Chains A and B, each alone.
Chain A
Amino acid sequence: MPVNDKFEAALLAKLEKGGLDKGSLRKISASIVGLKNQGLVIDQVYIKGQPGYSRVLINGIIDPEFWKKFEPGNILFQKFEVFPYGIINPEGYRFKGIVESY
């Protein structure tokens, strides 16, 4: 069984069979948010019946060459915001970020 399948079976079993109490569920969700705050993709939500089009329509791949401007490579963003939240023009976007370094 591939690694993914094993992991997924275990994850589902934990979630389905009550292996995680409310406190654990909350902790895991909070950890996900912690990770997301370091990410580059700003989440959006859509109303019922509305496809989440923006990231599909823009093929939101950012030119990796652009990021070379920010040496050294592994920057930990304290805060990162991309505008607009649904980018219609793949060539253009604006972002604001805060980098903390020691």
Chain B
Amino acid sequence: MQKETTSFCESVGLLPDRFRTIQIHPTKKCNLTCLHCYSISGPGHQDVLNLSDLKNFLAYAWEQGFNNISISGGEPFLYKDLEELLKFSKSIGYQNTLASNGMLLRSERAKRILEFVDLIAISIDGPQPLHDKIRNQAGAFDKTCQGLEVLKNLNKPFGIIHTVTPESWNSLIWLGEFAFSNGAKLLQLHPLEMYGRALDTLTSEAIDEDLAHKIFILGHYLVSKYNGQMVVQLDMLHRDYLLAYPQIVSGFERSCGQGGKLADLLDTIVIEESGKILPVSYGFNPAYSIGNISSFSMSVFEDFEKHYIPDIKEIFNKTLSEISRNDSREIVNWNELLIEESHLSSFAVTAPEKRR
């Protein structure tokens, strides 16, 4: 029997694009003090991002190829300028997405804001007792459910976003039912990361290798169960899959990244509540700060590409190499490992500023 291999490459329609995201933390102010909060947000915070600075930066970043914003926090609806911000970003052409606890959606202001939101993800930490425990507030679950009713009545696309912990993983099937029966378009499962408040409050809740496999198996069962009805997004990858398709996580492995342009290399940049712009994710080594929205120049991305991209590429490559070397860890939280590597790499601790 003769084996025949056919390769093909096809384009359909207009030249495609992809999402390049700016995750914005406009405030750390929150009506909750969740045990797993990576930004350690809470009611005591008062600092907020300056709207005018944000607008200037978003206009610049749009010209540079970014096209999606993702608002996090703190609770986004406690940012007083949220409506104006989303209206502005929409007017430029951005897709607007945000993550919220869903407890503040019943006001007229919230409804106006939602008009400018393409997708909102509501955090649910499990069935009511567990949700209220993690949210550190009795009655939180019920208030969030009231928020879901608002979204349903407005016919607004929404997702359920869940931080998977050793206490919650066996509720994933329940969570799938909950999300689907409420009309969610998305169920997103993100493993607990030992960062922020979790380091103080959930130290015994780290996800070990066996549990990671169990979450991976259950997560993919849900992907299959809701196929074509609700997107189930699992923020964990199998090592074999990641090594076969490194371009999923690394722009340096994609042909579009060869030009060295920031928006082609990094899927996400982050604006912290201080205005600092970081590559990749909240928690990435601040030595690699791109700049600050309050004082950026029109060459801020170009400067970053010139001075830092070789190091960032090295961090991506080292993380991939470590995953390849360590075959005892099969289920991988890529972003957590990448952030770890950004703090470990020798060039990070030798102050990159000096190499400018």
Contacts and interface: CB of A to CB of B under 8 A. Distances in A.
Interface of A: 4, 8, 11-12, 15-16, 22, 25-26, 28-30, 32-33, 36-37, 42-57, 66, 78, 81, 83-89, 91-102
A65 B67 CA distance: 30
Contacts of A101: 3-4, 6
Contact of A51 (B10, B98, B238): B98
Q: List 7 tightest A-B contacts by C-beta distance, closest first.
A: A84-B18, A92-B13, A52-B233, A51-B121, A49-B72, A86-B19, A25-B213
Q: Chain A interface mostly helix, strand, loop or mixed?
A: mixed
5 contacts: A45-B235, A47-B268, A96-B9, A98-B6, A102-B3
Interface of B: 1-19, 21, 23, 38-39, 67-68, 70, 72, 95, 97-99, 118-121, 157, 159, 161, 170, 173, 185-186, 188, 190, 193, 195, 209-210, 213-214, 216-218, 220-221, 225, 231, 233-238, 240-241, 244-245, 247-249, 256, 267-268, 270, 280-282, 330-331, 333-335
Contacts of A42: 245, 248
Contacts of A66: 12
Contacts of B234: 43
Contact of B334 (A33, A45, A98): A45
A84 B238 contact: no
A47 B330 contact: no
Contact of B5 (A52, A78, A94): A78
Given A25-B217, A47-B281, A12 B23 contact: no
B3 A48 contact: no
B165 to A, nearest CB: 13
B241 A83 contact: no
Contacts of A12: 170, 173, 218
Contacts of B333: 45
A92 B241 contact: no
A85 to B, nearest CB: 6
B214 A102 contact: no
Residue among B10, B13, B16, B118 having the largest count of chain A Cβ atoms under 10 Å: B16
A48 B280 CA distance: 11
Nearest to A49: B72
A95 B91 CA distance: 31
